């Protein structure tokens, strides 16, 4: 079974996550041509969210631009989704 992380604000913005190019283990919002980061279990996805959160907290503490998707209140919009043949991806049309 595979899992992905998506940012879903329940107001129309839904974006899958890709691997962060600067930090091993971190994730960030995927662009249209970026591969989606996939995980073998939910715990791996949670660890990657935690790495991304710590990176954002560190950058914020240093006064650098940080990915607010991983800071509160934005972090509450992150969802771990299981992928299987029947999964309807929220960013795809019906």
Please give the residue range of the domain that contains residue 46. 2-83
Give the strands of the sheet with 2-8, arranged side by side: 27-29, 14-19, 2-8, 78-83
**82-92: pLDDT as tens digits:** 987 666 665 55
Number of structural domains (the chain) is: 1
Q: Please tell me the distance from the alpha carbon of residue 83 to that of residue 39, in angstroms, as a whole number.
A: 10
| 42 falls within a domain | yes
**30-80: pLDDT as tens digits:** 998 999 999 999 999 999 999 999 999 999 999 999 999 999 998 999 999
| 39 falls within a domain | yes
Strand partners, 27: 19
pLDDT score for 55 = 94
| Contact of 68 with 76, CB cutoff 8 Å | no
| 69 falls within a domain | yes
| 33 falls within a domain | yes
| 14 falls within a domain | yes
| 34 falls within a domain | yes
DSSP state of 23: S
């Amino acid at each position: 079974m595979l899992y992905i992380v998506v940012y879903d604000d329940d107001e129309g913005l839904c974006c899958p996550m890709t691997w962060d190019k600067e930090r091993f283990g971190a994730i960030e919002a995927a662009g249209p041509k970026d591969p989606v980061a996939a995980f073998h279990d939910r715990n791996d996805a949670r660890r990657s969210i935690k790495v991304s959160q710590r990176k954002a907290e560190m950058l914020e503490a240093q006064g650098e631009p940080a990915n607010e998707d991983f800071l509160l209140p934005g972090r509450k919009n992150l969802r771990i989704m299981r992928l299987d043949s029947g999964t309807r991806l929220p960013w795809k049309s019906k």
